[in-house]
Amino acid sequence: MDCIFCKIISKKIPSDIVYEDDNTIAFLDISPVNKGHTLIVPKKHSENLIASEEKDIHESLNVIKKITPAIIKTVKADGWNLGVNNGPAAGQIVKHTHFHIIPRFSNDGLKHWHKKSYAEAESKQIAEAIRKEI
């Protein structure tokens, strides 16, 4: 498999691992948004969050809850974002499910996404269409 995260999991590529158990690994991002930016990766390969097994998602979330306080304390962050990019349009570069813990600082210059508006009655139509798909 040519997945860079699978190679990190199998220790074929070095990384700065901050946590590891039987099912999950967490390591520092090599191109961090801010210092302490950490990736949480299920060891079982899946292309994205929707393709992941529920247990892998739950285990990843438990690891996120466990390690985030240590990350925030270490880098003295004011807050943090949790990100999951799914698909190229959403910024997913590595096709292996992973979560980003991004420490945030009051003056780090990062901006949240731009807001858009719905046309009149458009939100009701979209909500109805989503409910039908579920």
96 is catalytic: no
**Beta-strand relationship, 38-42 and 17-20:** unpaired
Secondary structure class of 96 (helix, strand, coil): coil
Rounded (10°) CA dihedral 88, 89, 92, 96 = -60
Contact 9, 28 (CB under 8 A): no
Q: Which of 58, 98, 100, 114 is catalytic?
A: 98
The catalytic site residues sit at 98
